[in-house]
Amino acid sequence: MIKKKIITALTVAAVFVASVMPVCASSPSTGNTGNQNPTSSTEIDNSNRGQMSSDGQYTVTNNADGSLVAAVQNLLLNNLAATGNAFGNSAIVSAATNAGQKVTAKVLAAGDIEPKGAQKDADGFYTVTLSVPGVAAGDTIAVLHKGANGWETIIPTAVANGSVTFRVKSFSPFAIVKLVVSGAVNAPQTGSDMFAVYALALMGVAGAAYCGKKYLAK
């Protein structure tokens, strides 16, 4: 009879631990959970812009529009999850809710572009290829364009070593922005409440085992 009670106690404790473990593992991480733009996880680097140039079909004047920094923040960093999904970058999506990661928007070049001999295609688009220092194949590059209705984001059609290609219907200010994710991915944190649950579960198992030994020793 005593042995049966001991086995029952150990079984209950084991079931309890087994039921707690999946809940703890699936608990959301702490830090920036639910916050799409934690200010501590984003940064705009507008200090080291290079000089972009074209293949001769366009005239490029390197400068920076005064509203560019605000545009980078509003279009790219205010909703990291949406930006990451738009560019197919899962690391940016992860950074939206991970306090251990930071997304830096590096402004590689900025200026005015005007067509010089370039022709529109049948859909009314110009295809622009720019030489831009700091670009490498595989980079996540955003082209920002200031049109009649304000700034917009253009996803390039091609990103190669030293060049960016995109399509556009109108001209004026442009900026080439590189998105970089840094920092380690945080393991899920459950907080002190989950620690207490683990402790209680382990205490239950240990207590049952201790009692079992005492009764069996008699």
What's the pTM value of the predicted model, to 2 decimals? 0.69
In whole angstroms, how far apart are CA 163 and each of 25, 52, 57, 102?
Answer: 44, 9, 15, 25
**Residue 193: is its pLDDT beyond 90?**
no
List the single range of 4-8, 131-135, 193-197 with lowest mean pLDDT.
193-197
Q: How confident is the model at residue 75 (pLDDT cuts 50, 70, 90)?
A: very high
| pLDDT tens-digit map of 157-167 | 999 999 999 99
In whole angstroms, how far apart are CA 24 and each of 12, 17, 19, 33, 196?
Answer: 19, 10, 9, 16, 11
Give the tokens for residue 21: 């473990």
SS3 131: strand
Q: What is the largest CA-CA distance in the chain?
A: 99
The per-residue pLDDT for 41 is 84
- Report domain extents, the chain: 2-27+190-217, 39-182
Pairing of strands 42-45, 102-115: parallel
**Residue 128: is its pLDDT beyond 90?**
yes
Q: Where are the beta strands (DSSP E) in 74-139?
A: 102-115, 126-131
SS3 155: coil
SS3 67: coil
Contact 132, 142 (CB under 8 A): no
| pLDDT tens-digit map of 29-40 | 223 333 444 444
Cα angle for residues 71, 75, 78 (degrees, 5° grid): 105
The per-residue pLDDT for 6 is 44
**Residue 11: is its pLDDT beyond 70?**
no
The CA distance from 119 to 61, in Å, is 19
Q: How confident is the model at residue 28 (pLDDT cuts 50, 70, 90)?
A: very low
Phi and psi at 177, nearest 5°, equal: -120, 130
Q: How confident is the model at residue 185 (pLDDT cuts 50, 70, 90)?
A: low
pLDDT above 70 coverage of the chain, percent: 66
**Which residue, among 40, 76, 57, 64, has the nearest Cα to 152 in the 3D structure?**
76
- Better pLDDT: 147 or 196: 147
DSSP H or E stretch at residue 177: strand 172-182
- How much is the mean pLDDT over the chain? 78
Alpha helices by DSSP H, listed for the chain, are 2-26, 68-72, 80-87, 90-95, 191-217
Q: What is the pLDDT averaged over residues 68-97?
A: 96
The per-residue pLDDT for 20 is 39
Contact 93, 81 (CB under 8 A): yes
Q: How confident is the model at residue 183 (pLDDT cuts 50, 70, 90)?
A: confident
